[in-house]
Chain A
Amino acid sequence: MLNRQGRPTTPHAAANSAVTGTITGNRGLQMEEALIFEIGEEGRTGVDLPDAPKVKDRLGGLKRQGRIGLPGLSEPQVVRHFVRLSQKNYSIDAGLYPLGSCTMKHNPRLNEKMARLPGLGDIHPLQPASTVQGALELIDQLAGWLKTLTGMPAVAMSPAAGAHGELCGLMAIRAALKARGDVRKRILAPESAHGTNPATAALCGYTVDPIPATAEGRVDLDALQAKLGPDVAAIMLTNPNTCGLFERDIKTVADMVHAAGAFFYCDGANFNAIVGKVRPGDLGIDAMHINLHKTFSTPHGGGGPGSGPVVLSDALKDFVPVPYVVHGSDGYRLVESGDAKSFGRMKAFNGQMGMFIRALAYMMSHGADGLKRVAEDSVLSANYVMASLKDVMTPSFEGPCMHEALFDDRFLKDTGVTTLDFAKAMIDEGYHPMTVYFPLVVHGAMLIEPTESESKDSVDAFVTTLRGLAEKAKQGDQVAWFQAAPQLTPRRRLDETRAARSPVLRWKPGSNGAPIDKAAAE
């Protein structure tokens, strides 16, 4: 069927119906959904706005000429469009989401409600301090929790995400080195580090020198000693590390790094394993970012927003970004300028307040007792997964692990099935795959993080599924089935090469409902 512009009302219906065998290309509750630009038409809107005041404009002759090209949709059309899109997503609310290193835990709805309270969700960042005393108190309270939980004397609140927190930490380190007239050029980071570590170091002008791991998946102290020198600014170490292991020599590492005049940056992405159980401040670190969107459960939202406050040691606590909250005799205020030791500003305004609210609500709900339980249960579940699968899959390292269990692809050797195939088969079973091919230090990595949110029944069902898939892979005659997975999803495996070779990054007028060239696709 065609609409008034001559566009098919269900674009690509032909290609889709050939697959599904239905006229629409739909498959029951799995609805095909066009782009909003293919649905909308001129002359329709989803908002009712009054007439604009009749005034002579003061635009200096810079009024826009011509149309923008945005489609017009009614509210029901918009709602249906986005509801249908939502139904194409996996989510933690719908099932176990074992993405290692990402800490996909339950997102309490109380936190959402708190973030929307009038007086919190709607206040402006530049209101006079006298009108935002509650907001400043809230930031101060959250800072207090973070300092107590980490055993660190200071925290920089403004970084917008983990990688931004890393940047903050390295900026503080650079400022501290500069203050003592020390110019250093190298950052040491394990080969297993998150990609953000070397990328952040490069942004700060450092070269990155990888430190190898031992056969036990931990920092090689001899190699570290050999790499340390007067030009090393810092080590960036994730703890628990990306292999899911606690760096048991971490205090020695700290001593070695400090003896060389360098600083110890800890990537706190995996803080969930030790929150309430171990204070990083007791381990000798100088700076660590905390992903509020991991450990403290502010929702991932399909890729953000996050928040990455950075706790700082005595040696770094003066070298903070602006703004920050201070408490004086006349209440709270923001220091936005005039601090000579501050290395400057990292973003506009006061930090990710919406995330602060959610994280503080999460902390207050759990309390010191609940947070400790979070760490214990997350570690318990990961070890349980490892113990339950070690006879059919291949753990990369001797346990116990922390909150995530790392496997490699040795168990798939000679089966023809790859880590990717195995992950895609999980999708048809109703699971989001674990993190795959990370960390880079083991072959065909599969990093499983069940989190403390799951019940034992849920973890057991997951284990049963993985056991079944591992056994199926080992049968030897199921390669084609694995390679064809997933088959039951809104889309099957997508052609990423095509996407990168001739990038189509936006809809354009005229491309409405253009039929996909099946021949080109094949």
Chain B
Amino acid sequence: MRYLGLTEADRGEMLNTIGAGGIDALFKDVPAGTLNPQLDLPLHQGELEVERAFAAMAKKNVSPMEVPFFLGAGAYRHHIPAAVDHLIQRSEFLTSYTPYQPEISQGTLQYLFEFQTQVSMITGMEVANASMYDGATSAAEAVLMAQRITKRSKAVLSGGLHPHYRDTVATLMDQTDQPHVAAPVDLAGNEDLATLIDEQTACVVVQNPNVFGHLRDLTGLARACQAKGALLIVAVTEITSLGLIMPPGAMGADIVVAEGQSIGVPLSFGGPYVGLFATREKYVRQMPGRLCGETVDQDGRRGFVLTLSAREQHIRREKATSNICTNSGLCALAFTIHMSLLGEAGLTRLAEINHGKAVQLAEKLSQMKGVAIVPQAFYNEFAITLPKPAAEVVEKLVEKKILGGVPASRLFPGDKNLTNVLLIAVTETNTEGDMDKLAAALKEVL
């Protein structure tokens, strides 16, 4: 067994040292009759056999590399520079634990400090934490944080919020029977959430651009929240958008939660991703998750440590701000490296390309009979209405070897108004040829 370090002779010597007659003597506390069950599982295999098994499973999937690909809805296909994947696989990053011993973890701690800085900068906020599981769980944690800060219970959830985010928030709030109001589904992108805010409202959660692609100015909503003493939580599912559009911080957000997958993290069927969480400095002691801070060592040299841990479960136990422990360290590293490679110029250009291509495709599709582009203002994703159910159209496109988007019915099952709505995302990975193929195939299918 290639991963085990002991030989039979070692095992015998070690048992002798211990003074145990056999290995099962060490398991003497296990209740009678439960030790060494028969397990109906295969025996060990070599690398080659395991590789074959995985290759066979991989082959049963359609890789986005093989076909024109337009799926988004909270997870986006972007090009990841080769250096990112190389660097995150360095042993010292890949196989280290949470940096509990800072003297021998400065590598991890420094990149977390850089990550926190990058996230603060792009969201337009003052501070960010060292990552959460994903965007949806970040949103749920943000609601709890708003409740702690405002000492109020109610959350108002936008009708343009990604249903996975909405449901993740609701699941957590349901545990303590906290009230949450989900606004009606906002396909038109003109909801007015201000009317739903009252004296019990802890926060309003709104996504920008929203799940249908609508890009909106949230400054009015921020003012309405402030007037009633509620916090504005802005969710961003496509983080590259902030290379081009006004950040939530500039619109008056109190907490920004985001999915960081678009920078450095592969699609991987939905996880692991990296949740971003940023807020105002005055709320830092109410934040969930780990925080890395700058300090000095005993020789006066700059160094970094995990800090403000009096908020966390390993210190505060049932009074902690969250139960989160393991988060998304390595994905945060991938994000930091990719963002470092992009820099200001690269991120801006990347966002311009994404938007420009999306505008090109929108123009192409809007000329088709029976097709209408839903949002006026958008970034790299937009909903379109079709003359037929979108799920059927997507299946027909699969037959033509095109992954044509996400039918809204996948996210909003049973909503009759959305049956014919399709969500289409465009990134730098889409060629003009891809777009022409999609348009041509749609023409045939509709």
Q: In whole angstroms, what is the CA distance A160 to B134 when docked?
A: 9
Inside 8 A of A40's CB, which chain B residues have their CB? 340, 343
Q: Which of A391-449 contact B (CB under 8 A)?
A: 399-400, 423-424, 427, 432-433, 438
Q: In whole angstroms, what is the CA distance A432 to B353 when docked?
A: 46
Q: Which of A221-267 contact B (CB under 8 A)?
A: 245-248, 250-251
Contact of A53 among B17, B81, B215, B353 (CB under 8 A): B353
**Which 3 residue pairs are nearest across A and B when measured between Cβ atoms?**
A60-B377, A349-B270, A301-B330
Contact B327 A499 (CB under 8 A): no
Contact A433 B377 (CB under 8 A): no
Contact B63 A123 (CB under 8 A): yes
Q: Which of B264-315 contact A (CB under 8 A)?
A: 266-274, 284, 290-305, 307-310, 312-315
Is B164 close to A, CB under 8 A?
yes
Inside 8 A of A250's CB, which chain B residues have their CB? 31
Contact A46 B272 (CB under 8 A): no
Q: Is the interface of A mostly helix, strand, loop or mixed?
A: loop
Instruction: Digitize B356-386: 1 where CB-to-A-CB distance is under 8 Å, 0 elsewhere.
Output: 1101101100000000000011110000000
- Residue contacts A-B, CB under 8 angstroms, 18 given: A15-B302, A49-B350, A69-B121, A69-B344, A70-B339, A71-B340, A117-B58, A166-B323, A200-B323, A321-B171, A361-B54, A400-B27, A491-B303, A494-B304, A495-B298, A496-B295, A500-B307, A507-B113
Q: In whole angstroms, what is the CA distance A336 to B412 when docked?
A: 10
Nearest-Cβ distance from residue B51 to partner chain A, whole angstroms: 7
Contact B266 A151 (CB under 8 A): no
Contact of A149 among B39, B317, B331 (CB under 8 A): B39
A134 with B60, Cβ < 8 A, contacts A300-B97, A380-B15 known = yes
Contact A198 B317 (CB under 8 A): yes
Instruction: Digitize B325-342: 1 where CB-to-A-CB distance is under 8 Å, 0 elsewhere.
Output: 111111101000101111
Q: Which of A362-389 contact B (CB under 8 A)?
A: 364-374, 376-377, 379-381, 383-384, 386-388
Contact B341 A521 (CB under 8 A): no
Contact A112 B18 (CB under 8 A): no
Is B205 close to A, CB under 8 A?
no
Contact A125 B269 (CB under 8 A): yes
Instruction: Digitize A34-62: 1 where CB-to-B-CB distance is under 8 Å, 0 elsewhere.
Output: 01110010111111011011111111111
Contact of A35 among B69, B86, B110, B215 (CB under 8 A): B110
Contact B95 A299 (CB under 8 A): yes
Is A118 close to B, CB under 8 A?
yes
Contact of B175 among A138, A205, A347, A486 (CB under 8 A): A205
Contact A64 B271 (CB under 8 A): no
Inside 8 A of B158's CB, which chain A residues have their CB? none
Contact A498 B296 (CB under 8 A): yes
Q: In whole angstroms, what is the CA distance A379 to B341 when docked?
A: 45
A304 with B269, Cβ < 8 A, contacts A49-B353, A456-B13, A504-B293 known = no
Closest to B347 in A: A70
Chain B, interface residues (CB within 8 Å), range = 35 or more
Contact of A131 among B25, B103, B170, B403 (CB under 8 A): B403
Is B246 close to A, CB under 8 A?
yes
Instruction: Digitize A496-522: 1 where CB-to-B-CB distance is under 8 Å, 0 elsewhere.
Output: 101110011111000000001010011
Contact B118 A522 (CB under 8 A): no
Inside 8 A of B171's CB, which chain A residues have their CB? 171, 321, 343-346
Contact B327 A432 (CB under 8 A): no
Is B446 close to A, CB under 8 A?
no
Contact A78 B337 (CB under 8 A): yes
Is B37 close to A, CB under 8 A?
yes
Is A214 close to B, CB under 8 A?
no
Contact B81 A75 (CB under 8 A): yes
Inside 8 A of B116's CB, which chain A residues have their CB? 505-506
Contact A456 B359 (CB under 8 A): no
Contact A125 B107 (CB under 8 A): no
Is B444 close to A, CB under 8 A?
no
Is A201 close to B, CB under 8 A?
yes
Q: In whole angstroms, what is the CA distance A367 to B268 when docked?
A: 25
Inside 8 A of B300's CB, which chain A residues have their CB? 15, 18-19, 516, 518, 521-522
Inside 8 A of A61's CB, which chain B residues have their CB? 217, 377
Closest to B399 in A: A130
